[in-house]
Structure 1
Amino acid sequence: MVLIKFLKSKLSQFMTKTNRLVVLRHGESDFNIENKFCGWHDAPLSEFGIKEALTVAIPSLAQSQLEFDVVYSSVLSRSRETAELILCKLNCAYVPIKKDWRLCERHYGNLTGSKKRKVADLYGEEQVQAWRRGYDSVPPPIEESNRYYYTICSNPIFDEVPPGQFPLSESLHMCVDRVKPVWKEVKREVLKGTRVLMCVHGTVARALVQHIEGISNEATEKVNIPNCVPRVYEFDLNSGGLVGGGINLGDQDYIRRKTAQVAAIGD
């Protein structure tokens, strides 16, 4: 008996203790369904976006028996609403949601509110894809003549943005830099054993993929994140390192189809 206890003790020293993190893009918004650049405009979830949360995200999380101690979201309603739906349907509405403006979608500047196809017809598909996917390409800054300028700049949800840090447009690179300090905070929580769900936006999810997986700028440009598909990462709590790569939960044919739709400019 003593020998068995000794062997078990020795074995436990070599067993890897891990914790999982889930990154999830919010459900479709009203602007997504109209194929418009959204960015910092506070568009709510569409009816289909609510359905995505209920039929795509929640079943995948429930089937994988994933539980959470805290959820991180942006201050934008489409991110918060998706997080609230998930927690409610998983019977854990008591789990706190930490809202952070630094997790807001990338600011698309004066493209905000414009249909992607219309912008492509005006500037060319190559330029639009550079604005959408290029690492350092910055869209034109939002102007006062843009119908969403004042609703964005005067929105009280952005009151915590420090003076001088309120963007008028952002590249993917700028979004990656903005997300980095939040990711460092989240990683510390994960490595302490906190079970974290990050319910964020498409470009923020891409930024997190770069920080988590350590991929190049060029590879990050090619990352496409479908709505409401949970991406699970596992971390070694002893070394702090990533165990394997990210795993997308759900029907793989559906995920491939939706990923291709995200990559395209659309109609």
Structure 2
Amino acid sequence: MLYGTGEDIMAQAKLVLMRHGQSLGNEANLFTGWYDLDLSPTGHEEARKAGRLMRERGLQFDAAHCSMLQRTIHTLHHCLDELDQVWLPEYHSWRLNERHYGALQGLNKEDTIALYGREQVQQWRRGFDVTPPDVALGSPHYPGHDPRYATLPKADIPRGESLATTTKRVLPYWQNTLLPSLQQGQSLLVITHGTVMRALIGHLNGLDPDDARTLEIPTGTPLVYEVNSVGIMRRLGYLNPPS
């Protein structure tokens, strides 16, 4: 991806990337992944606030994209309500789902540290190509049992992912769906998850894996890029920069 930093592009479209509002899993300090928990009360308000902020900045979109998980869907709906753009075409994709945390899904992070040790858990969380233990095929956390993924080939159904394998899953959606729309001048709102944000920001900003894996992504905070017809990007930054 080409990336511009000054007056080297004439932007034709806006891309807003945003992590969902705080979820019940975030609130409880869980490895959430594809575990389909809703927003916390704080997360609902974060999503509404983000929508109001985008409206105040005059952002208008042509389409909206999010994952298959309710914390992004509800975040998106709050944003569209506040933007008065509930009529936008809305697309959901498993490729925008959070990283699948394998056998760790649903576990409390501190309890997992007590069981496996802080260093091992940190490697599973932030090692670029370190994958946690696979989820068992009989587990309720195995996506193959979920009807929303019934049409996915078995080879595409994850049992555990690293940042590297999540990036490999996400980038085809960027290349084949999001980027072509942006190059046609369509402004997009994309609500997704922390690890997916790391993957996309790493790609768009040309970061090396070590820099991408250590990015801290705030919940409910819109990140804005400008895009021109040949796909050159300019990062404008967070609308409400985290402290």
Is TM > 0.5 for Structure 1 vs Structure 2?
Answer: yes
Match of residue 125, structure 1, among 100, 118, 138: 118
Q: Is the 8 A contact 2:9 2:228 kept in 1?
A: no
* 1:188–1:144 CA distance, 2 compared to 1 (3 A): closer
Counterpart position of 2:57: 64
Cα deviation for residue 149 of structure 1 reads 3.0
1:17-51 Cα shifts (integer Å, max 9, x gaps): 43210000011111111000011111111222101
Code of the aligned partner of 1:188:
P
Distance 2:114 2:68 in 1: 32
Stretch deviating more after TM superposition (105-114 or 119-128): 119-128
Distance 1:20 1:52 in 2: 21
Distance 2:101 2:237 in 1: 29
Match of residue 156, structure 1, among 125, 147, 150: 147
1:71-96 Cα shifts (integer Å, max 9, x gaps): 11111111111111111221111001
Q: Is the 8 A contact 1:133 1:222 kept in 2?
A: yes
Match of residue 76, structure 2, among 71, 77, 83: 83
Match of residue 18, structure 1, among 6, 12, 32: 12
Distance 1:51 1:140 in 2: 34
Counterpart position of 1:102: 95
Higher share of residues assigned helix? 1
Matches within 5 A, 1:1-267: 16-55=10-49, 57-143=50-136, 146=139, 148-149=140-141, 152-184=143-175, 185-237=177-229, 239-243=230-234, 245-250=235-240, 252=241, 255-256=242-243
Q: Structure 2: 5+ residue runs without aligned partners?
A: 1-7
Code of the aligned partner of 2:152:
V
Distance 1:35 1:203 in 2: 16
TM-score by length of 1: 0.83
Stretch deviating more after TM superposition (116-125 or 132-141): 116-125
Cα deviation for residue 172 of structure 1 reads 0.5
Q: RMSD of aligned C-alpha atoms?
A: 1.7
Identity %: 35
Task: Compare relative contact order (CA 8 Å, sep 6+) and give the higher one, 1 or 2.
Answer: 2
Cα deviation for residue 178 of structure 1 reads 0.2
TM-score by length of 2: 0.91
Distance 1:198 1:17 in 2: 18
SS of the counterpart of 1:164? helix
Distance 2:239 2:166 in 1: 25
Counterpart position of 1:260: none
Q: Which has the larger radius of gyration?
A: 1
